Amino acid sequence: MNQRAVAVEQLMANLGYTFKDRALLERALTHSSVAEGHNTKISDNERLEFLGDRVLGLLVADYLVREFPEADEGRLSARLHSLVDKSACARVGEALGIGPALRLSAGETKTGGRRKAGVIADAVEAVLAAVYRDGGLDAARAVFDRAWAHEISSPPQPAIVNPKSALQEWAQGLGHPLPTYTIVERTGSDHAPTFTVEVVVQGYEPVRATGRSRQEAEKAAAVALMKREGVI
């Protein structure tokens, strides 16, 4: 058994779920780069990622409504964002061991694709969708409960709930102009784009981060800069 095959088996053990249709899992772990240079159509994980984003949102919303019956919509929305954003999905993917199980092109592998937060986060959503397609909503919920347990038990800091506002307040407190955000890259399909945004605070090295939307990428970049500078 090769190294990747071992990683796939370990991933299923970490998920606590055994696929009936292993082809679904293989598709969920196939990055779009694999199709580069091939004449034949290769099924990658972008469509499953699209579905997984919605499945994750439903599971998180359902969990929050059940567990926090007194919380208002604003509090629920903030907590939902902290559990479904790219950073959270990437942390979940790293804990599950997604990286070694990915199917990538040689070029993407050489550029560190197995460690890229965006690639890992997308694959996590795709895997969740594959579980949903293979075993239904109850199976997906069981995987979510297991895989997101640490994220759920770690309340987000206020600065992570509203990172752009927190970064703005920090910059202004130091006498600097407002942070600026610039889209430096947009990849992926129209239905599942990934944005890379660079944030700049005068006097500090810029930071880049990715997200499913410009807003999400900007928030992720703000969090990354504050973490690097020891603000949070």
| Tens digit of each residue's pLDDT (9 = 90 or more) over 114-150 | 888 888 999 999 999 999 999 999 999 999 999 999 9
pLDDT computed for residue 195 by the predictor? 92
Domain co-membership, 173 together with 126:
no
Domain co-membership, 151 together with 167:
no
CB 90 within 8 A of CB 14: no
pLDDT at residue 58 is higher than 80: yes
Beta strands in the chain (DSSP E): 180-188, 193-200, 207-211
pLDDT computed for residue 15 by the predictor? 97
pLDDT computed for residue 40 by the predictor? 67
Question: Closest Cα to residue 79, out of 67, 96, 95?
Answer: 67
pLDDT at residue 161 is higher than 80: no
Q: Which of 124, 155, 186 is the last residue of a domain?
A: 155
CATH code, domain with 120: 1.10.1520.10
CB 146 within 8 A of CB 118: no
Q: Which residues are catalytic?
A: 53, 125
Surface-to-core class of residue 132, CB atoms within 10 Å of its CB (0-12 exposed, 13-18 middle, 19+ buried): buried
Question: Which phi and psi angles does 72 have, rounded to 5°?
Answer: -85, 175
pLDDT computed for residue 107 by the predictor? 87
**pLDDT: is 205 or 36 the higher one?**
205
Domain boundaries, position 76 = 3-155
Domain co-membership, 27 together with 47:
yes
Binning the chain into helix, strand and coil, the percentages to the nearest 5 are 65, 10, 25
- Give every CB contact of residue 203 below 8 A, 6+ residues apart in sequence: 174, 176
pLDDT computed for residue 157 by the predictor? 63
* Averaged pLDDT of the chain: 89
**Which pair of structure tokens corresponds to residue 213?**
């939307």
Q: Please report, for residues 67, 130, 154, 182, 225, the alpha-carbon distance to residue 72 in angstroms, rounded to integers and kept in the order given.
A: 12, 32, 20, 33, 30
pLDDT computed for residue 1 by the predictor? 66
Domain co-membership, 99 together with 210:
no
pLDDT at residue 189 is higher than 90: no
pLDDT computed for residue 39 by the predictor? 64
Domain co-membership, 170 together with 146:
no
Domain co-membership, 40 together with 122:
yes
Domain co-membership, 119 together with 49:
yes
pLDDT at residue 179 is higher than 70: yes
CATH code, domain with 190: 3.30.160.20
Over residues 5-47, the pLDDT tens digits come to 999 999 999 999 999 999 999 999 999 888 776 666 778 899 9
Distance CA 121, CA 192 (A): 13
Q: Which of 127, 155, 183 is the last residue of a domain?
A: 155
Domain co-membership, 70 together with 143:
yes
Domain co-membership, 199 together with 92:
no
Separation of CA 166 from chain center: 22
Domain co-membership, 146 together with 181:
no
Q: Please report, for residues 46, 47, 71, 160, the alpha-carbon distance to residue 189 in angstroms, rounded to integers and kept in the order given.
A: 8, 9, 36, 28
pLDDT computed for residue 85 by the predictor? 82
pLDDT computed for residue 37 by the predictor? 64
Average pLDDT over residues 53-78: 89
Domain co-membership, 135 together with 80:
yes
Average pLDDT over residues 82-99: 90
pLDDT computed for residue 123 by the predictor? 95
Q: Which of 139, 155, 171 is the last residue of a domain?
A: 155
Distance CA 66, CA 48 (A): 27
Average pLDDT over residues 205-221: 90
Distance CA 162, CA 130 (A): 32
pLDDT computed for residue 33 by the predictor? 87
Domain co-membership, 194 together with 114:
no
pLDDT computed for residue 155 by the predictor? 72
Count of domains forming the chain? 2
